[in-house]
């Protein structure tokens, strides 16, 4: 599914492009909608289901859970929330949000530097460690799943939760969707020629340029455009892969974060997605099991616990997956992962060193 | 080839995506229209009175303010989800895919959105909450309001009268702040996923439209909005940019025109298309265009224009006669809102009209 030369792909693509074009009518009118403004007989924004007045009613629910919650920043920028799973500084969070220099802010406003200990690509979980002792730890509830319609509350560091919602769908598997580099390619001698780098793609972020020849991806030598396309399909959006690239006779290496192909088909789709319900998580598919809830979350507010009205953690928010849906990994999948990651059974993924490893294989399922 | 695409996940999603623009598009029409015509009150068809269920106090509060309130909401909501889910269906007509709700398991009636079924007397495929499939036939539709009716076809294996059904509610007292439940098939029917539940509140209530913060997306169109008694009060129709911009046609759109819908009547203007239309007949007069009639279900009628109104201006443009009015309208696109200056009973009034599409 690399957006490439393949004839079959192209015919598929033209179908989706058509439908996307229709999509684009929407933003044109968005301005008018907004300009109609608030009428007097309208519910105040603070009284909406996720509004501040309603969230306030949940303060007693999150009074303890917020003490288990940390705000994680990557290079100073909000990346995600995290859950304290060990009193001596063990924190579980969403792996694909992490990069660069990590810091954690506790609900006590204390700040610590953090290091990645282990990453599990299948559930997109990372265990990170801060230098602290005697921290309050998550109380999990894995015995009974919440019922559809039951409140699910996402604590942040503040008195009120960051958002609230209800369980929309009982637990189920979410199939993986392949990620793409975000380049149009053609065959080249000993690799794949980059014909075009797509805007806001992982390839653009990594500095790929038209004219580059991709020689190797995650340790796999690339012989042709179709070989590249086939190989990259094994990864998910949000996965990091190491690329060897030939540029003006010089061999370079770079790490590319794979992108959701949907977001690249048309620039304005991205814009519209933002308008039609906010940004989505980069990695939002390929989970063994999730609880789907209707909480409106920012991608940066995933990675922490989600609790029921008793204030017990029924899972960990793992993705903002669409306008109508957010996903949480159920507690029974999260709990065993903590020990595994602590024991470094899953070593931190380093695309530069572990070129052949990749965090997730899309065809495994357990 | 076409049908196989529809039934493959990719094809289905594409079909859905095509629904989205029309959704957001229609939205604008009904919004501004309902504003101006809010004073017109139609008598609702009587509905079966529901025994005054002892709804918790919290449902009459502006906002819940305690854990007990939240527990009361949860108790009520979780008591409603099963029937809500079981009465919700997936509706497929041709390339289009949306949702619907069974409101009569004797006659097999399913409420949905007009833009899901498109035309009367077409074959429909209905997928129940548990994945069982039935055949259906599209009945009447009010394209202006976006209300559509489907009738289930008798099946040799599935006893239709055993299917879950829900009642239509009385929405005459529906107000902002009321808690509501939405079900449907966001992004289309997915095997192994039952209809998806969302909880929210009524944000605003207009004559032709209910706005809630129950988040909707393509594929939800035609699905039901429930009140806290478990009655259908709206049908999902369109969305706007913010997550609190989700629009449902009030169930009164079905109640008011029930016989017409059952008879397979099709009326009203489509919101999407090439050429804008206002839906007035008129004659040239000294001062402007004198309205001689309005077309049923078209923007002018919905906005409340009447025979003998004198249209003297459209936005900044002076109107001199019927043909010139038609030309001026053609400068706009279906979905755009224009302001008409009218003289009615010697008074000058301003009316906003959302243009629709000519067939």
Does residue A76 share a domain with residue A96? yes
Which residue, A224, A259, A294, sits at the end of a domain?
A: A259
pLDDT on residue A282: 85
Question: What pLDDT shows up at residue B355?
Answer: 86
Give the pairing type, strands B266-267 and B133-142: parallel
Quick one: A241 and A182 in the same domain? yes
What is the helix (H) or strand (E) element at residue B90, kind and residue range?
strand B88-93
All residues of chain B having their beta carbon less than 8 Å from the beta carbon of residue A53 are 62-63
**Taking the CB of residue B69, how many other CB atoms lie within 10 A of it?**
18
- The range of the structural domain enclosing residue A18 comes to 7-27+178-259
Task: Choose the weakest-confidence range: A225-234, B67-76, B103-112.
Answer: A225-234
DSSP assignment of A252-303:
EEEEEE-B-GGGGS-HHHHHHHHHTT----S--S-EEEEEEE-----GGG-S
Residue A36 falls inside a structural domain: no
Residues A120, A163 share a domain: yes
Helix-strand-coil percent breakdown of chain A, rounded to 5? 25, 35, 45
Measuring CA to CA, which residue among B223, B72, B38 is closest to residue A168? B223
Say whether both A68 and A170 belong to one domain: yes
**A20–B196 C-beta distance less than 8 A:** no
Please give the structure tokens belonging to residue A153.
């509350």
Kindly state whether residue A349 falls inside one of the protein's structural domains: no
Chain A from 24 to 43: CB within 8 A of any B CB: 24-27, 29-30, 32-34, 36, 39, 41-43
Task: Give the CATH number, domain containing residue A184.
Answer: 2.30.42.10
Would residue A295 count as lying in a domain?
yes
Using an 8 Å CB-CB cutoff, list chain A residues near B205: 41
Which B residues 292-321 touch A at CB under 8 Å?
A: none
- The C-alpha of B40 sits at a distance from chain A's nearest C-alpha, in angstroms, of 17
What confidence tens digit (pLDDT) does each residue in B230-277 have? Answer: 999 999 998 888 899 999 999 999 999 999 999 999 988 766 567 888
What is the C-alpha to C-alpha distance for residues B10 and A35, in angstroms, rounded to an integer? 35
Residues A167 and A191 in one domain: no
**In a shared domain, residues A148 and A215:** no
Cα dihedral A50, A54, A58, A59 sign: positive
* Reported ipTM exceeds the 0.85 cut: no
The answer to whether residue A239 sits within a structural domain is: yes
The answer to pTM > 0.80 is: no
Read off the tokens for A28: 């044109």
Same domain, A171 and A182: no
Residues 6+ positions from B268 with CB-CB distance below 8 Å: B114, B141, B142, B143, B144, B145, B296, B297, B298
Torsion of CA A21, A23, A29, A34, to 10 degrees: -150
Minimal CA separation from A280 to chain B, in Å: 13
Yes or no, beta carbons of A57 and B217 under 8 Å apart: no
Residues A115-127 have pLDDT tens digits of 999 988 889 999 9
**Residues of B148-183 as b/e, b for ≥16 C-beta within 10 angstroms?**
bbbbbeeeeeeebeebbbbbbbbbeebebbbbbbbb
Which residues, listed in sequence order, are joined to residue B90 by a DSSP beta bridge? Answer: B99, B127
> A188 with A141, same domain?
no
Task: Give, to the nearest 10 degrees, the angle between helix A267-275 and helix A7-23.
Answer: 40
Measured between CB atoms, does B243 come within 8 Å of chain A?
A: yes
Same structural domain, A170 and A293? yes
A202, A228, A259 — which closes off a domain?
A259
On whether both A167 and A60 belong to a single domain, the answer is yes
Tokens of B271: 């919101």
Distance CA B211, CA A295 (A): 18
Q: Which residues of B touch A11 (CB under 8 A)?
A: none
Q: What is the mean pLDDT of residues B214-225?
A: 95
Residue A290 and residue A238 share a domain: no
Has residue A76 been placed in a domain? yes
Q: Which residue has the tokens 């209530």?
A: B205
Extract the tokens encoding B246. 């989700």
Q: Is the pLDDT of residue A2 over 80?
A: no
Which CATH number goes with the domain that contains A130? 2.40.10.120
pLDDT digits (tens, 9 = 90+) for B288-332: 999 999 888 788 988 899 999 999 999 999 999 999 999 999 888
Burial of A5 (0-12, 13-18, 19+ CB in 10 A): middle
Same domain, A305 and A159: yes
Contacts of A40 (CB under 8 A, 6+ apart): none
From A73-77, A153-157, A310-314, B8-12, the region with the lowest mean pLDDT:
B8-12
Q: Domain total for chain A?
A: 2
Q: Which domains does chain B have, with CATH numbers?
A: 2-262 (2.40.10.120), 276-357 (2.30.42.10)
Last residue in a domain, options A214, A230, A259:
A259
pLDDT digits (tens, 9 = 90+) for A321-342: 989 999 999 999 999 999 999 8
**A352 is a domain residue:** no
Question: Which positions in chain B touch A325 (Cβ < 8 Å)?
Answer: 186, 196
Q: Looking at the domain assignment, is residue A94 inside a domain?
A: yes
Please check whether residue A359 lies inside any domain of the structure: no
């Amino acid at each position: 599914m690399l957006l490439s030369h393949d004839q079959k792909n192209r015919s598929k693509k033209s179908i989706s492009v058509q439908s996307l074009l229709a999509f684009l009518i929407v933003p044109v009118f968005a301005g008018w909608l907004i300009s109609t403004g608030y009428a007097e007989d309208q519910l105040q924004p603070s009284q909406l289901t996720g509004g501040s007045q309603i969230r306030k009613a949940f303060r007693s629910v999150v009074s303890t859970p917020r003490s288990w919650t940390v705000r994680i920043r990557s290079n100073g920028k909000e990346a995600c929330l995290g859950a304290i799973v060990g009193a001596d500084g063990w924190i579980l969070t969403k792996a694909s949000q992490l990069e660069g220099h990590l810091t954690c802010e506790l609900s006590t406003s204390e700040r610590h530097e953090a290091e990645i200990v282990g990453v599990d690509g299948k559930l997109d979980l990372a265990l990170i460690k801060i230098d602290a002792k005697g921290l309050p730890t998550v109380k999990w509830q894995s015995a009974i799943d919440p019922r559809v319609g039951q409140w699910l509350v996402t604590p942040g560091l503040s008195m009120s939760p960051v958002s609230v919602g209800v369980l929309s769908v009982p637990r189920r598997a979410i199939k993986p969707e392949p990620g793409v580099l975000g380049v149009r390619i053609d065959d080249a001698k000993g690799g794949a020629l980059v014909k075009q780098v797509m805007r806001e793609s992982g390839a653009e972020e990594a500095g790929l340029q038209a004219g580059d020849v991709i020689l190797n991806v995650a340790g796999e030598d690339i012989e042709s455009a179709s070989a590249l396309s086939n190989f990259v399909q094994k990864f998910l959006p949000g996965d990091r892969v190491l690329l060897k690239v030939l540029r003006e006779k010089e061999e370079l290496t770079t790490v590319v974060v794979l992108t959701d192909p949907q977001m690249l088909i048309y620039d304005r789709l991205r814009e519209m997605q933002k308008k039609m319900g906010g940004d989505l998580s980069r990695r939002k598919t390929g989970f063994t099991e999730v609880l789907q809830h209707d909480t409106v979350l920012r991608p940066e507010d995933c990675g922490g616990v989600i609790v029921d009205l008793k204030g017990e953690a029924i899972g960990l928010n793992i993705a903002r997956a669409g306008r109508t849906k957010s996903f949480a990994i159920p507690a029974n999948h999260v709990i065993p992962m903590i020990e595994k990651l602590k024991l470094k059974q899953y070593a931190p993924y380093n695309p530069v060193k572990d070129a052949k490893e990749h965090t997730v294989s899309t065809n495994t399922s357990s | 080839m076409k049908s196989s695409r529809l039934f493959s996940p990719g094809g289905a999603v594409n079909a859905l995506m095509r629904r989205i623009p029309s959704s957001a598009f229609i939205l604008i029409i009904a919004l501004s229209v309902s504003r101006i015509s809010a004073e017109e009150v139609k008598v609702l068809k009587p509905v079966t009175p529901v025994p005054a269920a002892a709804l918790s106090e919290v449902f009459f509060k502006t906002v819940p303010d305690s854990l007990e309130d939240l527990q009361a909401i949860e108790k009520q909501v979780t008591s409603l989800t099963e029937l809500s889910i079981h009465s919700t269906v997936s509706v497929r007509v041709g390339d289009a895919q949306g949702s619907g709700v069974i409101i009569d398991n004797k006659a097999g009636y399913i409420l949905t959105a007009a833009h899901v079924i498109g035309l009367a007397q077409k074959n429909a495929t209905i997928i129940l909450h548990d994945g069982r499939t039935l055949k259906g036939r599209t009945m009447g539709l009010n394209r202006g309001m976006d209300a559509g009716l489907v009738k289930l076809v008798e099946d040799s294996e599935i006893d239709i009268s055993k299917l879950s059904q829900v009642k239509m509610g009385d929405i005459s007292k529906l107000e902002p702040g009321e808690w509501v439940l939405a079900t449907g098939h966001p992004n289309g029917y997915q095997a192994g996923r039952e209809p998806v539940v969302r909880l929210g509140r009524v944000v605003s209530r207009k004559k032709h439209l209910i706005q809630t913060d129950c988040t909707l997306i393509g594929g939800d169109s035609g699905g039901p909005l429930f009140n806290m008694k478990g009655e259908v009060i709206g049908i999902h129709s369109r969305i706007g940019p913010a997550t609190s911009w989700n629009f449902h046609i009030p169930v009164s759109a079905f109640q008011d025109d029930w016989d017409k819908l059952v008879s397979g009547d099709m009326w009203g203007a489509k919101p999407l298309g090439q050429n804008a239309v206002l839906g007035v007949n008129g004659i040239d007069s000294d001062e402007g265009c004198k309205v001689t009639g309005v077309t049923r279900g078209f923007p002018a009628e919905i906005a409340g224009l009447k025979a003998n109104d004198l249209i003297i201006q459209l936005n900044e443009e002076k109107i001199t006669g019927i043909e010139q009015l038609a030309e001026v309208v053609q400068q706009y696109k279906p979905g755009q809102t224009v302001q008409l200056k009218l003289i009615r009973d010697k008074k000058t009034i301003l009316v906003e009209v959302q243009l629709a599409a000519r067939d």
